[in-house]
Amino acid sequence: MTRQQAPARANLVLAVLFAGAFVMGCAEMLVVGMLDLIATDLEVSVSAAGALVTANALGLALGGPLLTFLTTRFDRRHVLIAATSVFVLANLLPAFGADYPLFVAARVLIGAVQGLFIAAGIVTATSVVPPERAGRAMAIVITGFAMASALGLPLGTLLGQAVGWRGSFVAVVLVGAFVLVATVLVLPSLPTSRESRAVGQARAAFAPRVLAILGVGFLVFAAIQSALTYLVPFLGTVTGVTGAAVSPYLLAYGVATAIGSYAGGRFADTNAPRALVVGSIGVTVSLATMWLLGGNAVIAAVTVVGTGLFAMGIAPSIQHRVVTLAGAGAPLASSLPASAVNAGIAVGSFAGGLAIDASGVPAAVLTGATVGVLAVVAAWATGHITPAPQSAPAELSTHR
């Protein structure tokens, strides 16, 4: 299935995949920055508007793997074109007058095709570079989403305040259309092997060795989100940072995630199992330090940056390990890390909320550090897991 390209051509392919990831990440995050505007315009509560975030996450976590499974037989180029086309069409709904129920439904669909794009994009990215650069190719796609949080969210929010929240989605549609044209013109054909059928892929993708790595990703992001969901209240009550002074902390976190995801690709190529252990330790130490010394504004800033760097720094290694361990199931398995991460985010936010109800705001950060310890243990325990023997894919293909 490998179609390695000349360096210049490969870079162009990676640039298109980055752009697609970036615009999809912007569409996902825009709602977060405009909840009040959306709630007022659609005449719903802020919590109801927040359900739009949940809808996107559920679509990505559940719909992404399902669509990937259903499209395993198709050329990845065609899958990426279809995913981008549906993304553009679905965003036309909020851009041009969708009411609340239709907006929620559109967000589920947008999340699902986003998950499909991630999976097909990862497979395409790794196919155009030498095997020793696979982690860095994966990191390009992942960094597109990280950059959407770091830059796309604040810029889109400013645009929404200037021209209305629907205007921001018009911008998403226009950029998405540009990416669609580039996808059609640039991306190479990448047929799926006839020996790689959907059922065989599913058996390999959901093998215990793959699920173990997904468990590490789940724990890491549950730890992070337990604390970061309530970062603003923590900064206000513990650090004494409120109002506009909070923005630099959030921006620093976003920039740190973008830097971490890009740099993490090299670590994934060098030694992904070790990167998972080091990254998990980094997240845990950052959260523990935040809990212990977060009353100091400078130390709090350092821990926020450290959390972002280590969190997204291990994302390429999670993706790399999952794809490597899945073997013949790699095309389907490529969609699973995003599902595990979103599940971790949901559980972490819930756990942090319970901790706050029981013991106050600092307890959310302590909960994150505690879950982080579990993530370190899980990362260490899975470090020696290796791919199945080479004969396994052939055996899979003969039992359908």
How do residues 4-40 score in pLDDT, each as one tens digit? 567 788 899 999 999 999 999 888 888 877 877 888 8
Residues near 329 by beta carbon (within 8 Å), at least 6 away in sequence = 200, 201, 202, 203, 204, 205, 206, 207, 210
How do residues 222-232 score in pLDDT, each as one tens digit? 999 888 878 88
Secondary structure, 3-state, the chain:
CCCCCCHHHHHHHHHHHHHHHHHHHHHHHHHHHCHHHHHHHHCCCHHHHHHHHHHHHHHHHHHHHHHHHHCCCCCHHHHHHHHHHHHHHHHHHHHCCCCHHHHHHHHHHHHHHHHHHHHHHHHHHHHCCCHHHHHHHHHHHHHHHHHHHHHHHHHHHHHHHHHCHHHHHHHHHHHHHHHHHHHHHHCCCCCCCCCCCHHHHHHHHCCHHHHHHHHHHHHHHHHHHHHHCCHHHHHHHHHCCCHHHHHHHHHHHHHHHHHHHHHHHHHHHHHHHHHHHHHHHHHHHHHHHHHHHCCCHHHHHHHHHHHHHHHHHCHHHHHHHHHHHHHHHHHHHCCHHHHHHHHHHHHHHHHHHHHHHHHCCHHHHHHHHHHHHHHHHHHHHCCCCCCCCCCHHHHHHCCC
- What pTM value is reported for the model? 0.80
pLDDT at res. 4: 58
371 pLDDT exceeds 80? yes
83 pLDDT exceeds 70? yes
Confidence class of residue 381 from pLDDT cuts 50, 70 and 90? very high
Confidence class of residue 151 from pLDDT cuts 50, 70 and 90? confident
Burial (Cβ within 10 Å: 0-12, 13-18, ≥19) of residue 384: exposed
Count of other CB atoms within 10 angstroms of residue 212:
16
How do residues 36-66 score in pLDDT, each as one tens digit? 788 889 998 877 887 887 788 888 888 988 9
How do residues 246-284 score in pLDDT, each as one tens digit? 878 888 888 898 899 888 988 999 999 999 999 999 999
Residues near 232 by beta carbon (within 8 Å), at least 6 away in sequence = 246
Confidence class of residue 3 from pLDDT cuts 50, 70 and 90? low
pLDDT at res. 94: 93
Q: Which token pair is 40?
A: 């007022």
CA distance 196 to 395: 11
CA distance 285 to 289: 6
392 pLDDT exceeds 50? no
More confident position, 217 or 347: 217
**Domains, the chain, ordered by start:** 1-192 (1.20.1250.20), 195-400 (1.20.1250.20)
- Crossing angle of helices 297-313/208-228, nearest 10°? 160
